[in-house]
Structure 1
Amino acid sequence: MLEKRIPPLLLVVIFGAAMWLVASITPPLSIDGTLLAFVAVAVFAIGTLFSVAGVIAFRQAQTTVDPRTPEASSDLVSSGIYRYSRNPMYVGFALWLLAWGIFLGSGWALLGVVVFVLYMNRFQIAPEERALRDLFGDTFRDYEQRVRRWL
């Protein structure tokens, strides 16, 4: 089963490679490359802020950052960036892929971001949330009601 088996950063690399492949066989967008690069850098920077803020919050709570073992969580982190997103690191990764698709200048490659989000929802986030519900019970259920999965 694919659930929680592939490290999310490796998934970003795999999806990024697939997006590059799609971009190499489809026509590019008719937009200035300098503008695309500027927008891509800005989106990547925002994605990095999300991811780093998520890691910092986990480190401050002294709980595991490894999403493949949510049952090892010692604390439910709901402060900092986690007040706005239950998965800020994944938001950051999706923004990295969005930046990559923009940089590649391919509308078709941007579909990789959509597939990444769908994959993460099914094979990474859903199993994580099941484990967190089992571990933290009503506290996690209340958190789910207050904070969106992505943004």
Structure 2
Amino acid sequence: MNALALKVPPVAQVIITAAAMYGVSKMVPALTFSLNGSIALAVALGLMGLSLGIMGVTQFRIAQTTPNPQALEKVSSLVTSGVYQYSRNPMYVGLVLILLGWAFYLSHFLAFVLLPIFILYMTRFQIQPEERMMAQKFGKTYQDYLNKVRRWI
């Protein structure tokens, strides 16, 4: 299973998950639900997710390090300020919020079932390999950060 580690870029994982959510919503229309304000909630969650992602990327740019999860060898500094003082992975939390918004937009129960699968996949094949690399690169400083700030929220 380690063959999947760091192989599928997070944005591609979001596209795959969003497409699967859409697919199940069309294949099993009986599980659609109606919720007043679901579109507004979907937009709000999507915008929150986008904002969180932008804040995360901005902190990386300020620190003059790469936000590219496919170029971990280019990481030059450990970012622990801004949104990174609340979550070690705010960009990924942002992606989850975008997918949560998409699930509300689709208003389909199975769309919500795919969210934990996305989170588990991201944790196992993206975040944990990133954490191992960061621990090697930044040592005790990173370990202290791990002990202080949660992985997701």
Same topology, TM > 0.5: yes
- Aligned counterpart in structure 1 of residue 97 of structure 2, from 95, 98, 101: 95
Instruction: Report what 1:29 is aligned to.
Output: 33
Q: What's the CA shift for 1:71?
A: 3.0
- Aligned counterpart in structure 1 of residue 50 of structure 2, from 36, 48, 51: 48
Aligned letter for 2:101? A
Q: What's the CA shift for 1:6?
A: 1.1
Identity %: 44
Instruction: Report what 2:83 is aligned to.
Output: 81
Q: What's the CA shift for 1:111?
A: 1.3
Instruction: Report what 1:129 is aligned to.
Output: 131
Aligned letter for 2:34? S
Distance 1:47 1:122 in 2: 21
Distance 1:30 1:53 in 2: 33
SS for the counterpart of 1:67 is coil
Number of residue pairs the alignment of both structures matches: 149
CA deviations on 1:79-117 (whole Å, 9 max, x unpaired) are: 000000000000000100000000000011111111110
Unmatched segments (≥5 aa) in structure 2? none
Q: What's the CA shift for 1:61?
A: 0.4
SS for the counterpart of 1:64 is coil
Distance 1:46 1:39 in 2: 10
| Consecutive aligned runs of 4 or more in structure 1 exceeding 4 Å deviation | none
Distance 1:13 1:37 in 2: 20
Q: What's the CA shift for 1:68?
A: 2.1
Aligned letter for 1:74? S
Q: Map of 1:13-28 to 2, 5 A cutoff?
A: 13-26=15-28, 27=30, 28=32
Distance 1:24 1:109 in 2: 10
Structure that is richer in helix per residue: 2
Q: What's the CA shift for 1:70?
A: 2.1
CA contact (8 A) 1:51 1:89 kept: yes
Q: What's the CA shift for 1:30?
A: 2.9
Instruction: Report what 1:119 is aligned to.
Output: 121
CA-based RMSD: 0.9
